[in-house]
Amino acid sequence: MTAIAIADEVRTALESGQAVVALESTILSHGLPPGRNREVADRLEAVVRQAGAVPATIAVLDGKARIGLSDQQLERVCAADSGLVKLSMRDLGPAMALGQDGATTVASTAALAHAAGIGVFGTGGLGGVHLPLPGKHTTWDVSADLDALAEIPILVVSSGVKSILDVAATLELLETRSVPVIGYRTGHFPGFYLRESEFELAWRVDSAKQAADVVDAHRQAPGSAGILLANPIPHAYEMDREFHDRLLADGMKLVEEQGVQGRDVTPVLLDHFHTASGGVSLDANEALVVANVTLAAEVAADLAAR
């Protein structure tokens, strides 16, 4: 009995060469409040279809990795009492063997998407190297998302990395692992809730077709790394920089005071942003992930047409 179940619509699309876009489930179960998460889930699948592709939201349910979810399964993922745990790549085997329902992160979504034959993935923000907590000079907290992107030949479209991370260290690590980072209509790496960080990028594209050209050529070049297409948050939803920096500083203090560690750091910091910003960051989060998924679908459709 296979541990990966591909929905009929997704399987048919893959077999016929139609564009398919992978979507993660952690943003639904852990990144957005109940009610709004289901609205966003439906909106993401809708924009993928509007761009000419088939959505494949991924999660682990009933001991199987599900590639493409039914309405009922999406409801389970988004339920307030879902009990879903956050699953990175290392957690997939135990979760499936022990029948634990779980939401997939960027790393595990990319791995399962690739296993199913899906080459394009749209998300909000990539994980990365965490900032050291106040009073500490370094951290060993590095997201598995980076290794996954270095080893899995998938295109990930995101608004850079989450703004609670060490952007400089993350970009250095991506360079070390030979992951091309391409700016979409920008020469600077996006700052998640901010359109630009201080870090310049070596490469940019200005259309979905150019992005597809890069993906096509990259897959013919030596190596097995994926590609990060960095798409800035839409102008209207960019957060005020001073306000953003204050929220981040307060959030880091909160994490230190509560002794939060490991994979719990990101949900705590994001919840602080959502609460302390009065919902501003929630609106921003939805806007950027919708923009990224739309772009991912456009690139996937262009690739499929070749």
Catalytic residue among 24, 151, 286, 298: 24
**Segment holding 54, helix H or strand E:** strand 54-61
Q: 133 with 248: CB under 8 angstroms?
A: no
* Phi then psi dihedrals of residue 36, to 5 deg: -70, -35
Calpha distance 27→37 (Å, rounded): 8
Q: 57 with 72: CB under 8 angstroms?
A: no
Catalytic residue among 86, 151, 162, 298: 162
Calpha distance 129→11 (Å, rounded): 35
DSSP 204: E
**Segment holding 247, helix H or strand E:** helix 241-258
Catalytic annotation on 162?
Answer: yes
Report the Cα–Cα distance between both ends of the chain, in Å, rounded. 35
Q: 156 with 227: CB under 8 angstroms?
A: yes
160: burial class by Cβ within 10 Å (0-12, 13-18, 19+)?
Answer: buried
Could you tell me the CA-to-CA distances from 125 to 7, 12, 93, 213 in Å, in that order?
A: 26, 29, 25, 23
**Looking at the annotation, which residues are catalytic?**
24, 162
